[in-house]
Amino acid sequence: MANVTYDKNCLTVLDHPLVGHKMTILRDESTAPAHFRKLVHELAALEAYEATRDLPTMQVQVKTPICETEGVRLKEDTLAVVPILRAGMGMLEGVLSVVPSAAVGVLGMERDEETHEPHSYYAKMPQGIENRMALVIDPMLATGGSALAAIKYLREAGVKDIRLLVMVAAPEGVAAVNAAEPDVHIWACALDEGLNDAAYIVPGLGDAGDRIFGTV
Ligand SMILES: O=P(O)(O)OC[C@H]1O[C@H](OP(=O)(O)OP(=O)(O)O)[C@H](O)[C@@H]1O
Ligand SMILES: O=c1cc[nH]c(=O)[nH]1
Ligand SMILES: [Mg+2]
C-alpha cells in the first residue's frame, strides 16, 4: 500500500460480496466492453444507493387501496450527478437508475499522458447547481488531479455538498482529495495498492475509458 496519510473517515469502501464479485470480473483483462459496461452500471447503482442515504425527504400523505397513510418523497431539485468525461459516462445510467429525478452536469477532463495533469475541455451544469448536492462520478481515482479539478469547478459554481463516487481508488488520490477538500466524502468499490510509474492504479483495471468504449 502506498505510504500516504489521510483521514480514514473521508472514505467508504463498499464491503459486500456482490461488489467484490463484480469487481473481480471488472478487473479481468478478458472481460469484453459490453460486459464491462454492464458491471460498471450495476456497481454505480449500488454505490449511488449508499451515497444517497441522507437525501432530503418530505412527509406526504398517500392513499393505498386500503386507507390513507403517511409516506416520504424526495425533495425536488436537490441532486445533480456530475460525470467526468469520458469514463464517468459509464456510471451515469447506473446512478440514474436509483435516482432518476437527478439533474445531470457534465465535465470533460482528460489526463495528459506525460504530466498526468488533467486538461479540462467541456463543462455544462444544470440550473441551480449551487443549491444541489453534487455526486461526481468517475470510475478511477488515481493521482486525484481530475477529481480535484472537477471539485474546484463545482466549488467555483457555488456547490457546497460535493461527494465523489469511484470504482477504484488509489491511496494517493484519496490523500490528495482529502488534503485539499476535507469535506468531500469518497465512496469506492475498492481501495488499491497504489500507482505505477505511469500513474496507473495497481492492480487496478487498466484504462477505464478505453475498456468502456472499446478504444484500446
Ligand atoms: O486521478 P487522475 O490521475 O486524474 O486519473 C483519473 C482520471 O483518468 C481517467 O480519465 P482519462 O484522462 O483517461 O480520460 P477518459 O475518461 O477520456 O479516458 C479516469 O477516468 C479519471 O478521469
Ligand atoms: O489506472 C488508471 C488511472 C487513470 N485512469 C484510468 O483509466 N486508469
Ligand atoms: Mg482514459
Phi and psi angles of residue 215, each rounded to the nearest 5 degrees, phi first: -105, 15
Phi and psi angles of residue 186, each rounded to the nearest 5 degrees, phi first: -115, 135
Which residue's CA is the nearest one to ligand 2's atom 7?
A: 207
Enter the C-alpha cell of residue 211: 475498456
- Residue 188: strand pairing partners: 13, 166
Cite the active site residues.
Answer: 111, 115, 207, 210
Mutate to test the pocket of ligand 2, among 205, 210, 211, 216 (most ligand atoms within 8 A of CB): 205
Q: Which residue has the cell 448536492?
A: 133
Query: What is the C-alpha separation between 190 and 167, in angstroms, rounded?
Result: 6
Expressed in angstroms and rounded, the spacing between residue 59 Cα and the centre of ligand 3 is 43
- Per-residue pLDDT tens for 153-192? 999 999 999 999 999 999 999 999 999 999 999 999 999 9
pLDDT value of residue 148: 98
- Per-residue pLDDT tens for 39-86? 999 999 999 999 999 999 999 999 999 999 999 999 999 999 999 999
The CATH number of domain 8-213 is 3.40.47.10: no
CB 96 within 8 A of CB 125: no
- Per-residue pLDDT tens for 112-166? 999 999 999 999 999 999 999 999 999 999 999 999 999 999 999 999 999 999 9
Asked whether residue 1 carries a pLDDT value surpassing 90, the answer given is no
Work out the number of other CB atoms within 10 angstroms of the CB of residue 195. 19
Q: Which residue has the higher pLDDT, 98 or 1?
A: 98
CB 83 within 8 A of CB 107: yes
| Residue ranges per structural domain of the chain | 8-213
